[in-house]
Amino acid sequence: MEYLQGKFLVSETELDDPNFTQSVVLLVEHNQEGAFGLVVNQLSTLRLGAVLEEFMGTEAGELPLFIGGPVQQDFLFCLHSPIPELESGTVIEVIPGVAFNPDTRAVIAYLKDHYPALHPEQRPDVRLYAGYSGWGGGQLERELKVFGSWVVLPANQALIFSKDPEESWRSALKRKGGIYYIAAEMGFKPSMN
């Protein structure tokens, strides 16, 4: 099977796991050992300032937190558009224009030291995620082949940094087209009888 790093997993309408209902997962890493991804469209009610005191009352403190998945929700993970100050050997370009930074401390320092000085229109896109989505070796492949839980699509920057993340699931399915366009409109796949 081809590895799916840089692809979206879009949950099928029948997927009944509450962690992934109507979700869009960006696969950051996928290899024989397993897969690591972030749900890009599950917005939480929290802001950065609510979880890191040092940001309370700051502009960066107003950055929303997303639920990246059910695993290790006490850890923050980050996706961002290109940030020259953070380009290093640890940053992974998942797709053009979207970087995963495994060193969240560097992102936090950037948000503290550089972000406030930028005009709002010059600020990079930054998404912070509590937790992640993970699959052990062969687990995702089984979900795709046996259960048909996911639709695989090429990832794109616009959907990852969408201003309306709650519409991302529908938008992704509409991109797939055909019966998926109808499913996006109806919230379920109509019978083919």
- Per-residue pLDDT band at 96 (split at 50, 70, 90): very high
Strands of 32-104 (E only): list them. 34-39, 43-47, 64-67, 71-80, 92-95, 98-100
Tokens found for residue 126: 């930054």
Predicted confidence (pLDDT) at residue 87 exceeds the cutoff of 60: yes
Task: State the CB neighbour count (10 A cutoff) for residue 93.
Answer: 12
Domains contained in the chain, CATH given: 7-186 (3.40.1740.10)
Long-range contacts formed by 179-187: CB under 8 A, 24+ apart: 180/151, 183/13, 187/13
pTM here is 0.92
**What mean pLDDT do residues 14-33 have?**
93
